[in-house]
Amino acid sequence: FEDGLGVWFGEDGTPGSATYHKIDHAVFVPADADFGGCLEIEKSNSTERLRYSGKTPIQAETYIRVTARLKCITGNLPAVRIAGYAARSNGSSVSTVTQSGPSIALKRYGDIFEVSAIVGPGLRDGVDMVWGSEPDYGHFGLDLTGANGGIIRIDDLTIEDVTYLFHHDMLNTVDIRDYGALANQDIDNYDAFVSADRAAKGRSLLVPTGQFTIKRGLSLSSRVMFQGTLAMPDDAPLVLTNAYEYQNYVDAFGSEELALKKAIQALFNNSEYDSLDLGGKSVALSAPLDVHASVANRDDHLQRRVIKNGQIYSTGDINWETDTWTSRATYSASDPRKLSDVSAIASIAVGSLVEGQGVGREVYVTSVNTQAKQLTLSEDLFDADGTQNFTFRRFKYLLDFSGFEKISKLTLQNIEFQCNSSASAVMMAKTGYLFHVKDC
């Protein structure tokens, strides 16, 4: 304060705010017994603000502590808190962040009280004002609250870098919270993850405890340590280009079943790798895994892909029950792989087993044309001319590829499928070539 009160503002610290050298209820005291040079204020407003006009930079992975020492000389005893104005580079306010720290009450005259707050980008233990990645700088100081009329003396404020307090967490890692990530289901943390990944430069990303929402597909080039989990839409891939391991997806989503869906989704949505190694893990499925729905964004895939080394088994009963329909339809030997005028055709699924008079073994529905009321069959019928009732049974498969129009060069290798008398193992795509089931 001895350098002049013209750089100390009584509002938010921005240009145009009233400075303390023009405020009549404040004065510089050159020789206080405890503080030496200090600022004396008579509290005259419901919230008496003091802000330094200098711009303190707010940087990723950096934490600062603002500290003030003060005492009440006479009059009403107020409360005090560290406060700041969060600003973008153009000076506009980032009003959505916390702009004040914890408050303490001055309880006795003449006693020195110290108040402090830590400001930083991430929600970490001990951080009082979490500012995320949007602010570029701050104007810091303090607020006096409570009853008016007290005479308060304030020692020089200290603003210091205390990033070292968090170094035990940060060694060789980048904490996503330092780039604005918050474990809040209403916040899309995509930008925070991307920024942290760009800054990592060989370090690992740390996803701390909590569930972090990402509302679109995300690709990360850094290795990731998951203490917390991710919540993502079903159609949003998580691509871990340098950490594509099934266990990482289990850690990311907290569920073996969801992890398998997301790992397969990434396998079909990235060219960096061609194999998903389950690493000897056993994966329990509570319902059929619709691979086409999991991949979500394509109807065919023609590049080599391998899923290998694990066990996949069914659990529960209801989701594995066979769907059965009976419909009346017409068959003609002149069009030997078609059923026409099929009643209730919208209920019949591709992949259904067909049963009826003159139907051979292992005849399945390969396509459904609801508009024309026609079904295409995998084989000719041998003695079914005319109109009759047919039964259609759709079994449930651990891995169901039937939603794809075409799958080629896919290998399932060294996988034990445990169907537990309720499920079937694999339903292939409608067409394709070199679908290889090896050592399963």
3: CB partners within 8 A, 6+ apart: none
Q: What pLDDT sits at residue 85?
A: 96
In angstroms, the CA 68 to CA 267 distance is: 55
Specify the pLDDT at position 16.
Answer: 82
CA–CA separation, 76 vs 106, rounded Å? 10
| Predicted TM-score (pTM) above 0.85 | no
Mean pLDDT of the chain: 93
- The count of residues in the chain is 440
Which domains are present in the chain? Answer: 5-165 (2.60.120.260), 168-271 (no CATH), 331-345+356-391 (no CATH)
183 CB neighbour count, 10 Å cutoff: 19
Confidence (pLDDT) at 171: 65
The structure tokens listed for 83 are 């406060």
Helix, strand, coil % in the chain, rounded to nearest 5? 15, 40, 45
Taking residue 204's Cβ as centre, other Cβ atoms within 10 Å add up to 14
pLDDT for the residue numbered 169 = 54
Look at residue 15 in the predicted model and tell me its pLDDT.
84
What's the pLDDT at 168? 55
pLDDT of the residue at 415: 97
List pLDDT tens digits, range 383-418: 889 999 999 999 999 999 999 999 999 999 999 999
Tens digit of each residue's pLDDT, the chain (440 residues): 888 888 999 888 888 888 888 888 899 999 999 999 999 999 999 999 999 999 999 988 899 999 999 999 999 999 999 999 999 999 999 999 999 999 999 999 999 999 999 999 888 888 999 998 889 999 999 999 999 999 999 998 999 999 888 765 556 888 999 888 999 888 999 999 999 999 888 889 999 999 999 999 999 999 999 999 999 999 999 999 988 999 999 999 999 999 999 999 999 998 888 999 999 999 999 999 999 999 989 999 999 999 999 999 999 989 999 999 999 999 999 999 999 999 999 999 999 999 999 999 999 999 999 999 999 999 999 988 999 999 999 999 999 999 999 999 999 999 999 999 999 999 999 899 999 999 99
d(CA 395, CA 34) in angstroms, rounded, equals 84
**DSSP code at position 321:** P
User: Residue 40 gets which letter from DSSP?
Assistant: E
Q: Map tokens 């059929």 to a residue.
A: 288
